[in-house]
């Protein structure tokens, strides 16, 4: 997608997102924004996956695990009580630079926890290390073998979360505090800040779309596409394929973790199902339905489908409808629904406005 | 029971589960060889086989019910290939793999709505829940022998079919070089359909014999597909007999983990071993590494 079309697409998507909010406000269904915000965060995971799958041609069936690693790191650090270390020398200093903070928990008693900002940074570092450690050996594997390795990694993370009491085992973690961003903005699920949170999520999505769009048009993006088409040839052209693959894998893991952290603060908790293999498979399926190497398609399709299933639109047929939509989109529009849609819109526009133009020229 | 007997007991339970993983892994391999697709709906064939046999067994004798279930699921497998995958000529393998994931979701949900969420099972083929045979100090159910026997015979027959019959050799020709096979007059499309049918039939058979032990449930397919995939990868893709080794290894590793670790971690050991093997041998235990990087995948 060229810079020019990207500008148009960004404007259009922003307009649609604003229109959706206004429409929900007018119809008095503001509560729908909650699910919409959640699906936008899920869409960020799918964007990262697009980069790995669509552009670099590497399959990852473990992205749910990175989402969970981000979310859980943040949730554990911001809820675990460090009061009993009060007497240690460094604690006062950590408080003075706002790494630790004192707040009230759900029951009104004071607890000393890590501040969300510090927890966020910790989550990013943890994800970076894990993604690099797993990615380094795993990315030497090809095709289905890589898929299995990442799937296995995801399953292991899922089971470890389910089996450890510090992560709340099957119950997950709740009472995660709000995440105060700059300028009084706050990532939290409380209803007074619902609209604000919707725009935080959408703003982040649009920003990432533009940044990643630039990335795939850069030297790095061309290297990725070369690897996608023929890894051996890319190697022969002087691309350090393993370094490039690892970089993009770590980047997409970080995006998943970023979404996980914000999602956890937004919903106030996280559960072990976020790391489940079905979630990871779902992300892959959504990336494929969006058109694989199509960031905008992935964002739109995944937001829409996740929103519909979070709102329980199809009731007990939810999974079945998801499966059918998946099969239909991939069978009928392997490049995602957006290119055919754009073509159709352009044709319709030509039919409406097109006839005027030649007359103009003739006159 | 002393610890040696206990170990044997766990080993036998691992072999039993592993033989089912092996069958699913063979199914993965058959379809992969013929089409390059990894069919994640493979576990659903096992589930459907069990479900159909349970339903049919209410009306007809058990052997007829099992045979009926196998035939119906095999036809379904062929139908899926003819009606869906045969039409998708322009699609990449990746797209088709995602479509099989979609199919697996749809089949699972269809089973939920056709039957219900209840757990059901076939009766024990011989004896009942409490019948047990003592072998070398370990107590095993006769059904375990049914499972192992059926899987062994099925694998042997499949091996003979692929090795010695004309159709079987045509199938192997397709998997080693589809274009050359086509030039030699083999109808490759039909071979693809046959591979789907065979995989589905094998899966359904496994679903029937395992039903008395592990019970049949509409959600059983996805975990089986994951384990079967792991087994196929562990053995090395493209080699149905390596899948048997992979399946048994995954089953035994799982049983060993159950005996040593807290229940919550039982899959962790199996998958950790798998990852370790993959990082050392990137093409599985018996997979061939040659020429893969320059081949069109």
**A15-44 pLDDT, tens digit each:** 888 888 888 888 878 788 888 899 999 999
In this predicted model, what pLDDT tens digit does every residue of B142-169 receive, in sequence order? 888 888 898 899 889 988 998 899 998 9
Q: Which of residues 225 through 244 in chain B touch A, CB cutoff 8 A?
A: 226, 229-230, 233, 237
Check: CB of residue B24 under 8 Å from CB of residue B206: yes
Mean pLDDT: which of B60-69, B112-121, B126-135, B214-223 is highest? B60-69
Which residues pair with residue A101 across a beta bridge?
Answer: A113
Q: Is the pLDDT of residue A358 over 60?
A: no
Structure tokens at B229: 């995939």
Residues in CB range of B134: below 8 A, 6 or more apart: none
Q: What is the pLDDT of residue B276?
A: 86
List of chain A residues whose C-beta atoms are within 8 Å of the C-beta of residue B249: none
Q: Using a CB–CB cutoff of 8 Å, tell me whether B282 touches chain A.
A: yes
Average pLDDT over residues A278-292: 88
Q: For residue A137, count CB atoms less than 10 angstroms from its CB and return exposed for 0-12, middle for 13-18, buried for 19 or more.
A: middle
% pLDDT > 70, chain B: 96
Number of H helices, E strands in chain A: 15, 6
B293 contacts in chain A (CB < 8 Å): 142, 231-232
Distance of alpha carbon B41 from alpha carbon B216, whole angstroms:
16
Average pLDDT over residues A130-144: 87
- Residue B156 C-beta-side C-alpha neighbours within 13 Å: 6
Q: What's the pLDDT band for A123 if we cut at 50, 70, 90?
A: very high
pLDDT category, A361, cuts 50, 70, 90?
A: very low
pLDDT of residue B205: 92
Across the interface, of A138, A152, A169, the residue whose CB is closest to B271 is A152
Q: Which pLDDT score, from 0 to 100, does residue B291 have? A: 43
Burial of B251-276, coded b for 16+ CB within 10 Å and e otherwise, reads bbbbbbbbbeeeeebbbbbbbbbbbe
Nearest to B233 among A137, A148, A327 (CB): A148
Q: Is the pLDDT of residue A359 over 60?
A: no
Q: What is the pLDDT of residue A351?
A: 85
Q: What CA–CA distance (Å, rounded) separates B56 from B68?
A: 8
B22-46 mean pLDDT: 89
pLDDT at A362 over 70: no
Token couple for A270:
């996280």
Average pLDDT over residues B276-291: 74
Positions of E strands within A165-241: 173-174, 179-180, 186-187
Alpha carbons B151 and A287: distance in angstroms, whole number: 38
Query: Is residue A360 scored above 60 in pLDDT?
Result: no
User: Closest residue of B to A290, CA-based?
Assistant: B95
Please report, rounded to a whole number, the percentage of residues in chain B having pLDDT higher than 90.
22
How close, in Å, is residue A229 to chain B by CA atoms? 9
Per-domain boundaries in chain B: 19-234
CB contact under 8 A, B94 and A53: yes
Q: Do A163 and B98 touch (CB under 8 A)?
A: no
Residue B204 confidence (pLDDT) above 90 = yes
Q: Point out which residues pair with B216 in neighbouring strands.
A: B120
Highest mean pLDDT among A265-274, B64-73, B275-284: B64-73
DSSP-assigned states of every residue in A272-297: GGGGSHHHHHHHHHHHHHTTSS-HHH
Taking the C-alpha atoms of residue B144 and residue B20, their distance in angstroms, rounded to an integer, is 11
Q: What are the chain B neighbours of A152 within 8 Å (beta carbons)?
A: 230, 271-272, 274-275, 278
Question: Residue A5 has what pLDDT?
Answer: 78
Give B45-104 pLDDT, tens digit per residue: 999 999 999 999 889 898 999 999 999 999 999 999 998 888 887 788 888 888 898 899
d(CA A346, CA A338): 12
B115 touches A at CB < 8 Å: no
Per-residue confidence (pLDDT) for residue B2, from 0 to 100? 64
Q: What per-residue confidence (pLDDT) applies to A338?
A: 84
- Chains A, B: CB contacts under 8 A, how many? 129
Minimal-distance CA residue of chain B relative to A58: B94
Cα–Cα distance measured from residue A119 to residue A114, given in angstroms and rounded to the nearest whole number: 6
Chain A residues with CB inside 8 Å of B91's CB? 330-331, 334
pLDDT at B112 exceeding the cut of 50: yes
């Amino acid at each position: 997608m060229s810079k020019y079309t990207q500008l148009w697409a960004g404007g259009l998507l922003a307009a649609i997102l604003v229109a959706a909010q206004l429409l929900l406000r007018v119809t008095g269904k503001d509560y729908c924004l909650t699910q919409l915000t959640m699906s936008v965060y899920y869409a960020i995971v799918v964007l990262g996956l697009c980069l790995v799958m669509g552009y670099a041609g590497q399959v990852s069936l473990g992205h749910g695990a990175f989402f969970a690693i981000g979310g859980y790191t943040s949730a554990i650090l911001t809820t675990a009580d460090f009061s009993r270390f009060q007497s240690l020398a460094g604690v006062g200093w950590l408080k003075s630079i706002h790494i630790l903070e004192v707040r009230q928990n759900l029951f009104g008693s004071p607890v000393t926890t890590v501040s969300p900002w510090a927890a966020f940074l910790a989550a990013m570092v943890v994800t970076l290390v894990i993604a690099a450690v797993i990615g380094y050996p795993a990315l030497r594997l090809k095709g289905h073998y890589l898929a299995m390795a990442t799937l296995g990694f995801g399953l292991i993370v899922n089971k470890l979360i389910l089996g450890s009491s510090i992560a709340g085992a099957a119950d997950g973690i709740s009472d995660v505090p709000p995440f105060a961003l700059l300028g009084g903005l706050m990532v939290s699920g409380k209803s007074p800040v619902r609209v604000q949170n919707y725009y935080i999520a959408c703003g982040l999505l649009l920003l990432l779309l533009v940044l990643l769009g630039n990335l795939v048009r850069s030297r790095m993006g061309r290297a990725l596409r070369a690897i996608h088409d023929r890894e051996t040839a890319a190697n022969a052209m002087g691309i350090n394929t393993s370094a490039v693959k690892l970089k993009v894998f770590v980047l997409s893991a970080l995006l998943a973790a970023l979404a996980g952290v914000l999602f956890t603060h937004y919903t106030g908790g996280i559960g072990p199902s976020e790391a489940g293999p079905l979630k990871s498979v779902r992300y892959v399926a959504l990336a494929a339905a969006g058109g694989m190497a199509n960031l905008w398609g992935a964002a739109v399709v995944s937001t829409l489908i996740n929103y519909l299933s979070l709102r329980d639109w199809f009731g007990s047929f939810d999974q079945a409808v998801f499966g059918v939509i998946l099969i239909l989109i991939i069978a009928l529009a392997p490049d995602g629904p957006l290119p055919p849609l754009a073509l159709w819109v352009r044709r319709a526009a030509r039919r409406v406005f097109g006839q005027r133009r030649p007359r103009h020229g003739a006159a | 029971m002393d610890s040696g007997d206990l170990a044997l007991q766990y080993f036998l339970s691992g072999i039993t589960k592993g033989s089912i993983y092996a069958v699913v892994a063979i199914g993965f391999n058959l379809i992969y060889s013929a089409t390059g697709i990894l069919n994640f709906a493979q576990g659903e064939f096992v589930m459907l086989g069990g479900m159909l046999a349970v339903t049919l067994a209410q009306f007809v004798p058990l052997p007829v019910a099992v045979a009926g279930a196998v035939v119906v699921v095999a036809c379904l497998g062929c139908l899926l290939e003819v009606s869906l995958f045969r039409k998708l000529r322009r699609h990449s393998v990746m797209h088709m793999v995602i479509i099989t994931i979609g199919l697996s979701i749809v089949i699972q949900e269809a089973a939920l709505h056709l039957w219900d969420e209840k757990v059901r099972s076939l009766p024990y083929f011989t004896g009942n829940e409490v019948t047990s045979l003592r072998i070398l100090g370990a107590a095993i159910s006769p059904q375990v022998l049914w499972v192992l026997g059926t899987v062994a015979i099925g694998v042997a027959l499949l091996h003979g079919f692929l090795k010695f019959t004309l159709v079987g050799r045509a199938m192997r020709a397709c998997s080693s070089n589809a274009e050359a096979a086509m030039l030699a007059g083999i109808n490759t499309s039909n071979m693809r359909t046959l591979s789907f049918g065979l995989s589905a039939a094998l899966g359904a058979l496994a679903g029937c014999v395992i039903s008395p032990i592990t019970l049949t449930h509409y959600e059983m397919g996805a975990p089986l597909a994951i384990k079967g995939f792991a087994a196929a990868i562990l053995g090395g893709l493209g080699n149905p007999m390596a899948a048997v080794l992979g399946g048994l290894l995954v089953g035994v590793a799982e049983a060993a983990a159950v005996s040593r670790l807290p229940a919550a971690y039982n899959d962790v050991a199996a998958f950790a071993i798998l990852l370790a093997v993959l990082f050392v041998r990137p093409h599985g235990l018996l997979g061939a590494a040659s020429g893969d990087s320059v081949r069109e995948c």
